[in-house]
Amino acid sequence: MKTSKPFTTISYNTPDYLKAQLDDLVQRNILYFYAFVWHYREEDESKDHIHLLLHPNGQVDTDKILKHLEEFDPAVPDKPLRCRPPHKCNSFGDWYLYGLHDVKYLLAHGYQTRKYHYTKEDFFVSDEDEFVDLIHTIDYKKMYGNQTFFQAMEDGVTIFDMVKQGIIPMQQYGQYARFFFDLSNGALNQTFRGEHIGHEDPPKIDPKTGELLPEEISNGNKED
């Protein structure tokens, strides 16, 4: 498709090759910015993979860009390393916090957990200043939901006192009690997707995070 808006994909390239190809696209003014992070395969996955965000510098053909990123694989010469179909990026915050496997974000979005977690320094970016500026646009209150709960935990408030103080509603006590127990006991370093599915269960990838796909983007020339 043709688009001038940010889009995401999952890549199976090697990081060095991918960075070189992306730097070439930036130097040729085809891309304005890129960011990606390498993820080790989770317990329900078979492959390591990369979460990739691309900001075009004007209108681009996503098919041509993904073709440019294809990488020869000497182990399987007739099957290059390539990217999954692209998807619109509606929220940098969702993409970034999922890329971190941020504990609070995952808990707030379907009570998910992951074995592996990442830091800002794990991301490869074309422009560090632009990356920092994008991070500063994230509305953490919106991303995390009940921030007061997480702050109370950090302050050592018990789950019972949270109910007394009105930090958590009584009707949601069971859900928050589970959050509290798992956060307190380090039971979050395992893979649990809730109702979500993994990267290797096509055809669904979340357009917010690059994790799930509820709707494939057309490979045609539709303007987006």
Q: State the CATH number of the domain containing residue 10.
A: 3.40.1310.30
At 187 the pLDDT is 53
DSSP strands (E only) in 2-77: 2-3, 7-11, 31-39, 49-56, 60-61
Q: Count of domains in the chain?
A: 1
193 lies in a domain? no
What Å distances lie between residue 70 and 3, 67, 146, 156, 183, CA to CA?
20, 5, 42, 50, 40
Alpha-carbon gap, residue 19 to 15, rounded angstroms: 6
80 lies in a domain? yes
71 lies in a domain? yes
Q: What is the CA radius of gyration of the chain?
A: 19
Domain that includes residue 27, residue range: 2-185
Query: 63, 51, 50, 49: which is closest to 8 by C-alpha?
Result: 51
pTM listed for this prediction: 0.75
At 113 the pLDDT is 79
Encoded amino acid at 108, one letter: A
49 lies in a domain? yes
Q: Tokens representing 43?
A: 């317990």
Q: Before 203, cis peptide (omega within 30)?
A: yes
147 lies in a domain? yes
Q: Write out residues in the chain with pLDDT < 70, as ranges.
A: 111, 146, 183, 185-224
Contact 33, 130 (CB under 8 A): yes
DSSP output for 158-224: -HHHHHHTTSS-GGGHHHHHHHHHHHHHTTTSS-B-TT---TTSTT---TTTSS--SSPPPSS--B-
208 lies in a domain? no
138 lies in a domain? yes
Q: Which pLDDT tens digit goes with each residue over 55-75?
A: 999 999 999 999 999 999 999
192 lies in a domain? no
Alpha-carbon gap, residue 92 to 133, rounded angstroms: 11
